[in-house]
Amino acid sequence: MGSFAFISIIALLCYVFLLLALLAAKKNTIVNAFLLILAALILWTGGSFCMRMQLWPGLKIWYDVSILGLTLLAYAFYFFVSRFADLKKTPAGKFWLAVIIIINIINVATGYFLAAPKPEISDEGEVIFVYQYTWAIIILFGACALIILHMLYNLFRYYKNNTLAKGQFMPILIGIIVLFAGNIGIMLPFFTGFPTDILAGIINALFMFYALYKRKLFQLKLVISRGTCYVVTAGLSFVIFYYMISPLEKLITEKFSLSSRNTILVIVVIFTLFALILYYALKRFLDKIFIRDEIMQAESLKNFSLNASKSLDVSEILKEITNVIQKSISVRKIFICIADKKNSKFEVLHSTNPLENKKYNINVENPLIAELEKNNECLMMKDFRRTTEYKSMWEAEKKQLQELGIECAVPLMDDSGMMGIVFLCEKEKKAGFTYNDIVFLNSVKSIGSIAVKNSRLFEQAYMEARTDDLTGLLNRKYFYEILQQEFENNTGGCLSLIILNLDDFKLYNQLYGIKEGDNALRKVARIVKASVGASGHVARYSGKEFAIILPKYDLLSSKNLAEIIRKQIMNMNRRESDYTFKMLTVSGGISSIPYSASTVKELIENADMAIYKVKHSGKNAVMVHVGRNPNPEERTATRSESKETIYLEYEQTIGALTAAIDTKDHYTFKHSRNVAYYATELAYGYGMDEDFIEIVRESALLHDVGKIGIPEQILNKEDKLSDEEFSTVKGHVENSIGIIRNLPSLDYVIPAVIGHHERYDGNGYPRKIAGNDIPLSARILCVADAFDAMTTKRPYKAPLSVGESLQRLQEDAGLQFDPELVPIFVGLVNQGVIKICED
């Protein structure tokens, strides 16, 4: 091959160049596999070149090296393809490697497969190498061929399952084909003496390199690539100079007939220019091909900016910040501290190490904060230590920064001041922060600041819209939203609701002042929240009511939880060294789907109901709403005795009020009693529990109490009422509420009283609500009220018969009356369960 030796040298240089370039790159398994190919190629080409040149230490050794390279190349290809296709590691790989090693060991020791060639002088006087082939060579090349076949099989399998990868693998396939072609070419007479195999090796390596580049697997330091450029330029120039100098000299002296002195000058100029061009060409090649640090940084900044702008979640953004920094700067640890709500300290919200103790916080008065705020740029601790501000650092603060190993602080700021700080610890291998790092950090700072600001604003707005200012619990609006959500999420499962109502809170406020009252609310909120934890949602349901939504809680566990909370609240103020004993108790009502309610509305109503029950039975207790009784008759038996005990307290108030009505308007007094009778019977018939029935009874007795305020002449007017008079009469509903509202212990009758003139079709008064929006108690009252009004005599009308009245009720079912209640009522009257009151 004589004069073509330069091809081997160029091939070697190419491989070494790629090897050097890749050694500087960030390693991964694919790059490592490619390095193995390069190493094999270098061994093969280098070994064979040195052998042909018969260099020291001897032909045999170089021959063995080249055979090792050749056989290793097969394995390297196999390994590379497995890694590139990301195939599972199988024992086959290790097996092939073992085969290669064993073959080589045997061959080195005995020359069994293919012995080293012997140099002979050919007829033309050139040195040729004669090989002694035996059948054993089949084992050597056969093994290699098997490995390559296995590789091709792998490639084919991957190719089949992964059409997207076709483009990626194309260069590798072409490279392999070229390599084969080159090795076949060596046998063709046309290429005699020309090392087509080596040339093919170069082309193959370049194709593979291209494949890696396409997969963006490189990240290279510019400095090292420049060094590589120098080395390769020098090597290539030397080789070319060595081979080209004599032909060039010949050319110049013969064609241009220059003197030998001038010839040297021209050659020197030509080669200087050549070397320069070569250098720049290589440099450009490197610049183009390798993704350099800066580009990587720019890329990651771009991605970071994109990701950060997509998210409104602070913790996600903080994660993005640490990710982008760690990708570009190899720091051991990063902490991000964010200002707390009061802006009094910065707390560690995120750290690269999840196991890190996050209890550190940095006081807002720390001089470090002032320094960061003043300069609004990345601050190196070693610089900070030299400032006058550092003089005012407390020893504990200095120690804290030292313990955390913080070397650099990056402020996150907006127009109103510092929002947070990113702390970077020591870089790996104790490398210092470079100028580039600082520039990069300042870019991260700018993007990060905006992202954190936006997400914090969003979070704040989100929280404000959903939480109660005073207690920090969910507000009523959000409570309904969550309850609905949980209801939908728990179809088929259970969902409990606890409502806690502070007892006599108005009195508490009056005794200790509103400020103390607010404190108590905060404390209660804390207790409830701590007790519920992550198993439910806590809301401030109304001024003095707290609601707890408990998904997957049944009645028993809800009751236990409610009891625990109740006891805690009762003992809440006990420890205070106050002169007065600020006892505060709570009444709790529990309702649960599916046990005692089936809709959200029912759930809330029933929990409310349970509270009324507690309030009646002496407060400071928790009660569970059990639901409608399917057998009303059974209830009746248990009802009266409990009624006596529970409602005795209120009976007197109601008695006093009804007595007042009696004095003013005897009819109304009687009417109220009748309505109470009809309504309670209807409620029993409908299957309501005793507490509900009691509320209905009391509501009925008081439903017209507002008539006290209506002049008698209007009440007893025989003629048709004028519009004005009619609106006065209509006003009795509000009057009733006005009176009842002053009796806090009876406020539970308000829903029934206020709604008893509402019509089912929505044309009633005063609120014009319709259908099931009208409380059940009011709908019951409405039927009972109308029935009594129809069957009794009034100055302006004669009484209707029972039949007629029932007829009217049925006609207006769905218009004025609840269509579900009317048939029950009619049925009860017809069955004689409801007796008609005497006029």
CB of 377 vs another protein, minimal distance in Å = 17
CB of 435 vs another protein, minimal distance in Å = 17
On whether the CB atoms of residues 34 and 22 are closer than 8 A, the answer is yes
CB of 287 or CB of 397, closer to another protein: 397
CB of 534 vs another protein, minimal distance in Å = 37
Q: Which of residues 800-819 bind another protein (CB under 8 A)?
A: none
Quote helix, strand, coil % in the chain, to nearest 5: 65, 10, 25
Among 192, 388, 491, 831, binds another protein (CB under 8 A): 388
Dist CA 54 CA 412 (whole Å):
67
DSSP-based three-state secondary structure for 336:
strand
The yes or no reply on residue 430 touching another protein (CB under 8 A) is no
Q: Which of 515-544 are b and which e, b meaning 16 or more Cβ less than 10 Å from the residue's Cβ?
A: eebeebbebbbebbbebbeeebbbbbbeeb
On whether the CB atoms of residues 572 and 513 are closer than 8 A, the answer is no
For residue 759, give the DSSP letter. -
Sign of the torsion formed by the C-alpha atoms of 208, 213, 215 and 220: positive
Phi first, then psi: give them for residue 308, nearest 5 degrees: -65, -35
CB of 441 vs another protein, minimal distance in Å = 21
The yes or no reply on residue 361 touching another protein (CB under 8 A) is no
Among 294, 313, 340, 365, binds another protein (CB under 8 A): 365
CB of 365 or CB of 488, closer to another protein: 365
Distances in Å between the Cα of 110 and the Cα atoms of 116, 130, 143 are 10, 18, 18
CB of 755 vs another protein, minimal distance in Å = 58
- What type of residue sits at position 485? Q
CB of 395 vs another protein, minimal distance in Å = 5
Among 93, 117, 227, 367, binds another protein (CB under 8 A): 367
Q: Which of residues 612-631 bind another protein (CB under 8 A)?
A: none
On whether the CB atoms of residues 144 and 70 are closer than 8 A, the answer is yes
CB of 433 vs another protein, minimal distance in Å = 15
CB of 415 vs another protein, minimal distance in Å = 24
CB of 397 or CB of 820, closer to another protein: 397
CB of 394 or CB of 765, closer to another protein: 394
CB of 342 or CB of 386, closer to another protein: 386
Sign of the torsion formed by the C-alpha atoms of 737, 738, 740 and 745: positive
Dist CA 762 CA 760 (whole Å):
5
CB of 164 or CB of 396, closer to another protein: 396
Among 88, 160, 342, 391, binds another protein (CB under 8 A): 391
Among 253, 376, 387, 807, binds another protein (CB under 8 A): 387
CB of 573 vs another protein, minimal distance in Å = 24
Q: Which of residues 256-285 bind another protein (CB under 8 A)?
A: none
- What type of residue sits at position 716? N
CB of 388 vs another protein, minimal distance in Å = 4
The yes or no reply on residue 373 touching another protein (CB under 8 A) is no
Distances in Å between the Cα of 679 and the Cα atoms of 102, 460, 833 are 102, 50, 13
Q: Which stretch binds another protein (CB under 8 A): 333-341, 391-399, 596-604, 789-797?
A: 391-399
The yes or no reply on residue 392 touching another protein (CB under 8 A) is yes
Radius of gyration from C-alpha coordinates of the chain: 47
On whether the CB atoms of residues 568 and 527 are closer than 8 A, the answer is yes
Q: Say how many residues touch another protein, by CB under 8 A.
A: 11
| Cα dihedral 4/8/10/16 (nearest 10) | -170
Residue that is written with structure tokens 């992550």 in the block: 534
CB of 316 or CB of 397, closer to another protein: 397
> 586-593 and 622-624 as β-strands: parallel, antiparallel, unpaired?
parallel
CB of 392 vs another protein, minimal distance in Å = 4
Q: Which of 619-628 are b and which e, b meaning 16 or more Cβ less than 10 Å from the residue's Cβ?
A: bbbbbbbbbb
On whether the CB atoms of residues 487 and 436 are closer than 8 A, the answer is no
CB of 372 vs another protein, minimal distance in Å = 16
- Residue 676 CA, chain-centre distance (Å), reads 57
- Residue 22 CA, chain-centre distance (Å), reads 38
Q: Which stretch binds another protein (CB under 8 A): 146-154, 381-389, 734-742, 745-753?
A: 381-389
CB of 367 vs another protein, minimal distance in Å = 7
CB of 353 or CB of 392, closer to another protein: 392
Distances in Å between the Cα of 454 and the Cα atoms of 312, 317, 325, 362, 709 are 7, 10, 20, 23, 58
Dist CA 374 CA 289 (whole Å):
42
CB of 109 or CB of 396, closer to another protein: 396
Q: Which of residues 290-349 bind another protein (CB under 8 A)?
A: none
DSSP-based three-state secondary structure for 762:
coil
CB of 173 vs another protein, minimal distance in Å = 58
Phi/psi region, residue 244 (left: phi>0; alpha: psi -120 to 50; beta: rest), is alpha
- What type of residue sits at position 49? F
Q: Which of residues 394-423 bind another protein (CB under 8 A)?
A: 394-396
CB of 371 or CB of 468, closer to another protein: 371
Among 382, 506, 666, 793, binds another protein (CB under 8 A): 382
CB of 332 vs another protein, minimal distance in Å = 21
Q: Which stretch binds another protein (CB under 8 A): 151-159, 379-387, 423-431, 739-747?
A: 379-387
CB of 323 or CB of 387, closer to another protein: 387
| CB-facing half-sphere around the CA of 353: CA atoms within 13 A | 12
CB of 378 vs another protein, minimal distance in Å = 18
Q: Which stretch binds another protein (CB under 8 A): 158-166, 349-357, 383-391, 679-687?
A: 383-391
Dist CA 551 CA 568 (whole Å):
22
Dist CA 319 CA 333 (whole Å):
13
CB of 93 or CB of 367, closer to another protein: 367
Phi first, then psi: give them for residue 637, nearest 5 degrees: -65, -40
Q: Which stretch binds another protein (CB under 8 A): 307-315, 384-392, 509-517, 654-662?
A: 384-392
Tokens of 344: 């009094």
The yes or no reply on residue 386 touching another protein (CB under 8 A) is yes
Q: Which stretch binds another protein (CB under 8 A): 253-261, 389-397, 613-621, 735-743?
A: 389-397
Angle at 422 between CA 420 and CA 443, to 5 degrees: 100
CB of 377 or CB of 389, closer to another protein: 389
CB of 387 vs another protein, minimal distance in Å = 7
Q: Which of residues 94-153 bind another protein (CB under 8 A)?
A: none
In the complex, the residues that contact another protein under the rule CB under 8 A are 365, 367, 382, 386-388, 391-392, 394-396
